[in-house]
Structure 1
Amino acid sequence: MRTMTPALAALTMTTATLLAAQGARADAMAEAKAVIAEHRAIPEFAPLGEPFDAAACMADKSVFSIPVSMAIPFNVELQKAMQRAAEDVGFTYTTWENQGASDSWIQGVNQAVAQEYSLVDLAGGLNPEMLAPQLQEAKQAGLAVTTTHLYDESQEQAGFVDASAKVDYRRAGEILAAWAFVETEGAPNVLIIGSDDVLPSIPFVEQIRESLSSYCPDCKQQYLNVPVNEWATRIQSGTQSALLADPGINYILPIYDSMTQFVTPALRIAGADGVGMASYNGTPFVLDMVREGTVSMDVGESLGWAGYAAVDAQMRVLCGLEVPESLGIPLLIFDKDNAQTAGVPADFDSGYGDSHVAGFRKLWGLEG
């Protein structure tokens, strides 16, 4: 019987290794494309909690909402949606107008206590730990405490918070990683830009990195951390430095889409026309950039849906019902093929359909 020479054995092993690697890469590509396909369809409403008579329960109750800042369009639109939901049910809902100063947040909590509201909600990224003494006093006065659109689903809420309308930031991270992998034909060299001072950024970025490593263990990735108050001064320079240090970067993932306005000039100055960019939030001016071709993709979420889901959670707290762990807002991919459905110019709530409105009204016993 003929024996295999060492050279032939080595060649056979090399071929087998290459075939295995190609198979793994094909499996990863199929998995990434499946993640993307799952988030292309206009979402349908699926209730996360049991039906209840919201109008009867909330007849003598009220909610006082403190957004992180009403200078942020995201917070303005989220508050409008929450107000619409409260009006549908018929209870008092008050937004504390502020520009993001901590002393104003404190005044808001004090106002909620003084006027004997039933619940105080911290919305749009305001971390309750920053107001711990005041919120604990509010609880002692009989108010419930909730947060809206702050925590990732994997994060634990503060001990004095009664319920949190959480967001699946990790899922958004999976989508961004899958998109970069597919767009670069399985060879991503990615610059991720985040802000560690924003509470959900840590799990968000972790998921992007984990997903990229799963798809492609040998592919390159790096992380640029820029605090929110330094976006305007450090994102452009940091991106330019990264591109200069590694001209092979072929995709940039700023985790919050308002960052893209500072990445775009860095790409232009660096002459990096072939570098793709995708992000998350569905901010209108970024959706316009998607439609115009400046940004490749933006993962959006309906703030109308988010507002109704947040009010659902608040009412369940006050009605003594089990509260869903998540806002349950579907994530929808906007790219060149469907960006126009978000409006021209884009807005915060178009393109997602409106099944949530009738869905929540039925869930709350407002219609059959």
Structure 2
Amino acid sequence: MRLLFTISLLSTVMSVAAPLAAWADPMDDAKAIIAKHQKMPVFTPPGEAFDAKSCMAGKKVLSIPISMTIPFNVELQKAMASAAAEVGFTYTTWDNQLKSDQWIQGVSQAISQKYDVLDIAGGLNPEWLGPQLGEARAAGLKITTTHFYDVTQTAAPSVDYSGKVDFTGAGKLLAAWAYVKTEGKPNVLIIGSSDVLPSIPFVKSIQEQLKALCPECKQQHLDVPVSEWATKIQPGVQSALLADPGINYILPIYDSMSQFVVPALRITGSEGAVKLASFNGTPFVLDMLREGQVQMDVGESLGWAGYAAIDNIMRMMCGKPEVAKLNVPLLVFDETNIQTAGVPANFNDGYGDAHLDGFRKLWKLK
């Protein structure tokens, strides 16, 4: 009797659960992802408060970006230096022009000048400096990375603390945007660069989110190394559009790729019919958005990112747990709010300044 009752109960539960599953609306899910990132960013403490000024007194940090010829790195370093100045410790940016011998010289400088921390920043892979970082650790330096790994990736063994970025979250957002804006019928061309380590999970997150929202919808992936963007993106996009005129959205994972996508749209007569959304909030791309060439750009304030990176470095030096990801919110820029990014656009307008007061309180500076 008890067995029959259990079977009857299970049948009832399953009959109720089936309609509930059928009611799940992928369009509502996609819109919810977008709405979450259309609000003005608020500050969320990445960990417990600590007396940063006391524990960082006399400390020295040297940061080696991948190149100071890249505006992204210049702005990120400026923000990190500003945060360090507020706390009151020595922060040095190692100027370089994307040359490996210059990176190696930077590591040597950190060792010889007895720095406490060596930060590998803005796209520079610590594995490219394996032997040199080994020497630095042997000399007593701590090694950090800033804005390199995705939150799903494990840092190299040579790295003590890593300021990771939610590239996968940006990927889900881009997929949701394409799904909503095509009314649930995306035919997407994703442009990635697998030579940049976090690009791999970034592209995968777009692909998986699109499949989850729309299993039958079409998607394809164009992989172009960073060094070949200027020569391979435009013809690659043209070929894809000619082979499949049904493509209705292009998602370059880094927005600087967009400058090579737009000419391909013009040449193939696809401008207007094929839309474009990307990630980074690079000023010239935000200007393209304001002019109608790009429909959406997921931005991140580099001022905010710089303070978040310094926060994670100091947590390492002050004996606090590593943050799971840099405390940098992602914000959707589209035609409704693009004017807030400045005219011309810049790296920091449009995000508010909640991070400044937030980090100052977190570090017990006020």
Interval of TM-score (by shorter of Structure 1 and Structure 2): over 0.9
Does residue 42 of structure 1 match 2:40? yes
What is the CA–CA distance in structure 2 between the aligned matches of 1:247 and 1:324, rounded to whole Å?
45
Counterpart of 1:328 in structure 2 is 327
User: Which of 260, 263, 282 is the aligned partner of 2:261?
Assistant: 263
Question: Is residue 186 of structure 1 aligned with residue 184 of structure 2?
Answer: yes
Deviations 1:127-147 (A, max 9, x none): 000001000110010000000
In structure 2, how many angstroms separate the alpha carbons of the residues matched to 1:264 and 1:231? 13
C-alpha contact 1:25 1:215 (8 A) present in aligned 2: no
Quick one: distance in 2 between partners of 1:330 and 1:312?
A: 15
Question: Which moves more between the two structures, 47-56 or 77-86?
Answer: 47-56
Structure 2 unaligned blocks of 5 or more: 1-17
1:66 partner letter: I
Aligned to 1:226: 224
**What is aligned with 1:284?**
283
Aligned-residue CA RMSD (Å): 1.3
The equivalent of 1:173 in structure 2 is 171
The one-letter amino acid of 2:94's match is W
Q: CA deviation at 1:314?
A: 0.7
2:304 pairs with 1:305:
yes
- Return the offset for 1:328: 2.1
Identify if the C-alpha distance between structure 1 residues 295 and 25 changes in structure 2 by more than 3 Å, giving closer, same or farther: farther
Distance (whole Å) between structure 2 residues aligned to residue 265 and residue 160 of structure 1: 42
Secondary structure at the counterpart of residue 306 of structure 1:
helix
Question: 1:130-165 CA deviation, whole Å, 9 max, x = no partner?
Answer: 001000110010000000000000000011200000
Aligned to 1:359: 358
1:319 partner letter: C
Q: 1:62 maps to what in 2? A: 60
Cα distance between partner residues in 1 of 2:23 and 2:111: 58
Match of 2:86 in 1: 88
Q: Which moved more, 1:84-93 or 1:315-324?
A: 315-324
Deviates more, 1:301-310 or 1:317-326: 317-326
Number of equivalent positions: 347
In the alignment, the residues of structure 2 paired with residue 127 and residue 25 of structure 1 have an alpha-carbon distance, to the nearest angstrom, of 45
Partner residue in 1 for 2:313: 314
Structure 2 counterpart SS, 1:279 = strand
Aligned position for 1:342: 341
TM-score by length of 2: 0.93
Deviations 1:221-257 (A, max 9, x none): 0000000000000000000000010011000000000
Q: State the partner residue of 1:140.
A: 138
Structure 1: which 4+ aligned runs deviate by more than 2 Å?
23-26
Unaligned 5+ runs, structure 1: 1-19
Deviations 1:163-190 (A, max 9, x none): 0000000000000000000111100000
Q: Which amino acid aligns with 2:361?
A: K
**One-letter amino acid of the structure 2 residue matched with residue 113 of structure 1:** I
Q: Which amino acid aligns with 1:329?
A: V
Alpha-carbon offset, residue 25 of structure 1: 9.5
Contact 1:276/1:295 (8 A) holds in 2: yes
